[in-house]
Amino acid sequence: MKTTPKSFIREILKVTENPAIISFAGGLPNPSLFATRELARAAHDVIAGEGKETLQYTTTEGFPPLRRFIADRYRKRLGINVSPDEILITNGSQQCLDLIGKVFIDSGSRVAIERPGYLGAIQAFSLYEPAFVPVPLNEEGPDPLALEAAARKDPPRLFYGVPNSQNPSGITWSADRRSDIAAILREAGTVFVEDDAYGELRFDGAPLPPVFSLLQGQGVMTGSFSKIIAPGLRVGWIAAPAEIMEQLVTAKQASDLHSNHVAQRIIARYLAENPLDDQIPRIVGMYRKQRDTMAACVEQFFPEEVSCTRPDGGMFLWAELPEECSSMELFARALKEGVAILPGKPFYTDGGGANTLRLNFSNQSEDRIREGMHRLSMVLKEYLR
């Protein structure tokens, strides 16, 4: 427990709750996209119409029609075969990480992770006291030479990564890089944990094959309805081959018996009445415009010394200041001008990253993005002078 970092994000978000502040610090979906009317009806109907079942305990694995929906969607969208029996419903995809920690990580187990890596995974895994092995991310994905060197020394038990529109960097691994990484992992016998929170939120181009599908049983993949329906329902899932699934189910049962049955049935009902393929374009359309606006502001306002990613999906841009700069210092200065950013340091498991920051675009209007980015650029210029 003592090794688990307190959430820095959480502390920062408290500072930025003031609605007058233009916050790029958080990671919230845009609530204007929530289908409140349709979800309210679905909620009413599953409780009024099938309340004796909906309100009762259910199985640890989750509501069967929802597991079938997820398996079907993998087949239709990505062409991969996952049986509904290989899907476990969780409390958002954060819980997948806790269950994976329970099943795979002993104190001192080597766990490879992208550098920078997703903070939620660092927190969840830290409880189980792994030895993190950071693998530097570049434009195409994780550096294969670094992963290979780490595997040669002592193969990590797990490699955790976010191949689509990574949090925090916004980077999507290229198709070639996926194959290269899969080959290294197969050779090393390392289990891949593929966090696919943003796969449905792809703005440009066709989806790339999940690493999961290249590894045939040597990986698990997590997903979530948080970004495509609503996070307050806390429904995610993990896809895993049978032998791993059995252990995940045992861990899930010991952790909380099963996920919210009501929320599972609300989502299943909602999806039956509101095809996801009609919903996704609305979300992608809005986020793409917000990404465009933020990226245009970077181009137009930011000093050249600041480099920025241009993500092809997801919710975040990632910026690097010149090496000697501190994004904590920038955070403090920007806050005085009514803009919040997220310093990137907590996304590094080995120190470093003090000059990096994350910018969220999904939860501000285009006008506020423009205004906030303009102010931020003034602060940046002043700071870099």
CB of 23 to a copy of itself, least distance (A): 13
Nearest CB to a copy of itself, comparing residues 57 and 336: 57
Contacts of 33 (CB under 8 A, 6+ apart): 282, 283, 286
Q: Determine which residue in the list 83, 216, 253, 365 makes contact with a copy of itself, applying CB under 8 A.
A: 253
Report the site for a copy of itself in 265-304 (rule: CB under 8 A).
266
Question: For the chain, what percentages of helix, strand and coil (3-state, to nearest 5) are there?
Answer: 50, 15, 35
55 part of the interface to a copy of itself, by CB under 8 A: yes
Q: Which amino acid is at 170?
A: G
Piece of 215-223, 252-260, 292-300, 311-319 that binds a copy of itself (CB under 8 A):
252-260
Stretch that binds a copy of itself, among 5-13, 153-161, 308-316, 367-375 (CB under 8 A): 5-13
β-bridge partners, 132: 111
Q: Does 16 bind a copy of itself (CB under 8 A)?
A: no
Query: Taking CB under 8 A as the rule, does residue 39 contact a copy of itself?
Result: yes
Cβ nearer to a copy of itself, comparing 172 with 363: 363
Q: Does 36 bind a copy of itself (CB under 8 A)?
A: yes
> Is residue 259 part of the contact set for a copy of itself (CB under 8 A)?
yes
The only residue of 15, 18, 40, 277 in contact with a copy of itself, by rule CB under 8 A: 40
Rounded to whole angstroms, the Cα distance separating 180 from 174 reads: 10
Binding test (CB under 8 A) with a copy of itself, winner from 11, 19, 56, 205? 56
15 is an interface residue for a copy of itself by CB under 8 A: no
Strand bridging mode 307-308 / 316-320: antiparallel
Name the amino acid, one letter, at 75. Answer: R
Q: Nearest CA to 86 among 256, 300, 281, 245?
A: 245
Kindly report the number of other CB atoms within 10 A of residue 102's CB atom: 18
**Backbone region of residue 220 per phi and psi (left: phi > 0; alpha: psi in -120 to 50; beta: other values):** beta
Could you tell me if 232 and 258 are in contact, meaning their C-beta atoms sit under 8 angstroms apart?
Answer: no
Please tell me the distance from the alpha carbon of residue 197 to that of residue 165, in angstroms, as a whole number: 9
Number of residues that bind a copy of itself (CB under 8 A): 63
Q: Does residue number 7 form part of the binding site for a copy of itself (CB under 8 A)?
A: yes
Is 316 in a helix, a strand, or coil? strand
Map the footprint of a copy of itself across residues 202-231, applying CB under 8 A: 226, 230-231
CA–CA gap between residue 312 and residue 141 (Å, rounded): 13
Tell me which of 23, 126, 218, 377 binds a copy of itself, using CB under 8 A: 126
Work out the widest C-alpha separation in the chain, in whole angstroms. 66
28 binds a copy of itself (CB under 8 A): yes
Consecutive H or E run containing 357 = strand 356-360
261 binds a copy of itself per the rule CB under 8 A: yes
Residue 5 DSSP one-character state: P
Residue 61 sits in the site that holds a copy of itself (CB under 8 A): no
Residues lying near a copy of itself in the complex (CB under 8 A) are found at: 1, 4, 6-7, 10, 28-29, 31-32, 34, 36-37, 39-41, 43-45, 47-48, 51-58, 60, 90-92, 94-95, 98, 102-103, 120, 123-124, 126-127, 226, 230-234, 247, 250-251, 253-263, 266
